[in-house]
Structure formats: structure tokens, C-alpha cells
Amino acid sequence: MGIEKASALVTALPKDTDNVFVVLSARELNKDMRIVSCCTLDSSESKLKIAGANTVIMPDKVGGARMAGFIINHNVNRFIDRVSLRDGGEAYLTEYHVGELPNTDSPKKIGRILDALETNCKVVGTM
């Protein structure tokens, strides 16, 4: 298939400089693919975005935030662990935007809209 036709790339090399180089090279070959990269230094995040990464993850920050979350809001973090099914099961989280919902003449409750979409999902929250 090749990088030119790839829809996405994840780069998680140990050195931030290597991730920047891979993102820069990949973006040059494919302007449309989604690129997710990781980094360890705060200063590398902006460089990865400039190089072409759509999303930059800092695993140490994410891990630290999750650990703090267990102290601050234990039940929410237990829910997140359960949804991620660390036992090898499968779960999918999907976001629906208003424009993607079935067109109706009258307002409906979110449960009825999801029924119309023929999903087997549970509503976790609305905004």
C-alpha cells in the first residue's frame, strides 16, 4: 500500500527528534493522512505539530493525569477502565454530531434518536 495511500500513521519512537523527522517525512509524502505522535518533552509538542502531526500525546502527562484522576474522581476512572476492557474484550466509543443525526420534524429524546440510528449503544453523557 505505502505511505502515500495510508489513511493514518502513529509514530511512537523513543526520541522526540526521531518522531519529528518521521512526521515531517510522512506529511511530505501524504498531505491527507491523520498523524498521531508521542513526545516526552514539552518543547517537542509544538515542533511535532509544525511538522504535521494532527495529535500529539505525552504519555507521561497522560499517565500522571490518570493517576491523579483516581485520587480525585475514583468512580469516573473505574468507568474508563471498564470501558477500555483491559481484559481483551472490545468496546467502541463513538461521537455523533448533530448534523449526523436523523432528520426529524420534532425534537426527540436522545434514546429515540439512537434507536433510529440502529445502534447498540448506551448514552454516557450529553452536552
pLDDT of residue 90: 63
Highest mean pLDDT among 19-28, 58-67, 99-108: 19-28
- Quick check: 108 pLDDT over 80? no
Query: For the sheet containing 34-38, what is the strand order?
Result: 8-11, 34-38, 55-57
pTM of the model: 0.61
Determine if residue 112 is left, alpha or beta; phi over 0 gives left, psi from -120 to 50 gives alpha, anything else beta.
Answer: alpha
Average pLDDT, integer, range 23-42: 96
- Quick check: 51 pLDDT over 60? yes
Average pLDDT, integer, range 77-100: 64
Count of Cβ atoms closer than 10 Å to residue 39 Cβ: 26
Domains of the chain: residue spans and CATH: 3-57 (3.40.50.720), 61-116 (no CATH)
Grouping H, G, I as helix, E, B as strand and the rest as coil, residue 65 is helix
- Quick check: 66 pLDDT over 70? yes
pLDDT bin (cut points 50, 70, 90) of residue 75 is: confident
- Quick check: 23 pLDDT over 60? yes
